[in-house]
Chain A
Amino acid sequence: MTEAHHECCAHHGHHHELVIENVSVNYRRVLALADVSLATSCGNRVALIGPNGAGKSTLLKAIAGLVPRTAGTIRWRGTAVKKWSREFAYLPQREEVDWSFPITVRGLVEMGRYPQTGWWRAFSSADTEAVDRALEALALQDLQDRQIRELSGGQQQRAFLARALAQEAHVLLLDEPFTGLDRNASQLLGDLLAKLAHEGRLVIASHHDLNTVPNLFDEALVLATRPLAFGPVSEILTPERIEQTFSEPAAHA
């Protein structure tokens, strides 16, 4: 157990565990993910690392319920997650988002509230406060009326994090959140993820820059369609393992 984990439990007073058992995913006849198991809990930042096509995004999508599992179970806080959970938030890769969509930062964050409000109920003062709090937590109040295209890469990433906070998500599933960010923005996002985990959330992110893994994450899962290793970053990221997983030199951000 990492130190962050214990701090998280001090915040919560109880244990929130995510247990993934023998999850496999097939796209048509192609095996994308085979027999992945891991157990972790809130307060941790988990990196999914591995070469391109290793199934990092697929695993995130499988946890979020975006792709059907061909086998395996996912349990969160002791309850099986059949398809999706309100407590999970999925943050897509930045290039997959249509940033020209006519929506303001506030509008984007308000969308995170829809699981609570349902399809029809108007926003209550509690919903509005949740949105305000989320914007404040990510220092986006001054940008809330901006069109989302007018944000920098780091701010766009924060806007989606704010959306997840408005949703009161406990598990944040991020697809390559650091890709395309400059050094400062990466640093800021890294600090934010640390803070969010410290407050009791579980952060799971695919990541391809091995050099930054020790600074940004507590645990790592090395994937190559199958899980090769899982555990605290210091134990996982050994030179031999890196050699074995990546046939080519480590990619850079």
Chain B
Amino acid sequence: MITDLLTNPFYQRALVTAGFIGFANGFFSGFVVLRRNALSVSALSHTMLPGIALGIFLTGSLSQWNAFFGALFAALLVGLGSVAVARGNRVEQGTALAVLYTAAFAAGIALLPKLDTRQELEHWLFGDIIAVGNADIWIAFGIGAFILLITNLLMRPILLTLFEPNVAAAQGVPVRFIQYLIFTLLVMALVSSLQAVGCVLSVGLLVTPAATVSLLTDRTSALFWGGGLIGGIGSILAVLVSGKFGIAPGPAIVIVLGLLFVLAYLFSPKYGLLAPKRG
């Protein structure tokens, strides 16, 4: 039965896409975990809904591209807006983000009834990797490759900034530029996983893999490559078994990644709950 599925072109595309998005987002999840902003990822994921609604509203139809640019625009606006507001030193970034994303989400919900594409919007919320189209694949691959390229090229200044921005700045790193860059890449990574797992579950792909690895190692680079491997392999496994259990592939991906995290949490040799206690 598995072999039947494997010869199915839709299935093959779904597997390749899941593996690639899983890897790229798993790699990037290293930065999310180091930056300790998993909550803002979740906030940003919610702003993609009004973004998509806005894209449909302005162009009159739902396509991969206007949904993509709508989501990108809204998430960037809210994300960078919160960074800018926080620079005023009066309102903390988390607070600013909560204000802006709930307002944007509310605007999206207000806009929804005015659109007649509700049916298809479901699928942007929860993703449908089996129905992945060519445009989706190109968006995902393009963004994934771009993120991998930029983060690898700028790995040193990014790590310096994430570890201790003041020390980094004293070494000549353009800290503010790097912070905006990480935020922008984060939003792009979120948007790229829209098709696979949808707005809400994309958070899981961008946090869980490196969170799992962080329980297993103290080496910084392992967080990225290990996160990529766990994200990629976990996603492929999830798509393979999802049919068997009658679960949609998107949730299956996040469930599998969540289970791997729980395993690491329990059995990690160094940090696991069941690890031998050390003096």
A interface residues (Cβ-Cβ under 8 A, vs B):
28, 61, 64-66, 83-84, 86, 88-92, 96-98, 101-104, 107, 111-112, 114-115, 117, 119-120, 147, 160, 163, 167, 173
Contact = CB atoms under 8 A, between A and B. Distances in A.
B120 interface: no
A86 B172 contact: yes
Given A90-B170, A163-B167, 13 more contacts: A66-B169, A84-B171, A84-B172, A86-B172, A91-B167, A92-B166, A92-B167, A96-B166, A98-B163, A98-B164, A101-B220, A102-B217, A119-B153
Interface string B154-181: 1011011011101101111000000000
B255 to A, nearest CB: 26
- Shortest beta-carbon contacts, A-B, top 6: A90-B170, A64-B170, A147-B218, A102-B218, A84-B172, A66-B169
B164 to A, nearest CB: 6
B214 interface: yes
A167 B168 CA distance: 12
A83 B176 CA distance: 14
A120 B153 CA distance: 7
Interface string B163-203: 11011011110000000000000000000000000000000
B160 A111 contact: yes
B214 A65 contact: no
A91 B167 CA distance: 7
A66 B214 CA distance: 30
A96 B163 CA distance: 10
Contact of A97 (B159, B164, B169, B219): B164
A155 to B, nearest CB: 16
A88 B217 CA distance: 32
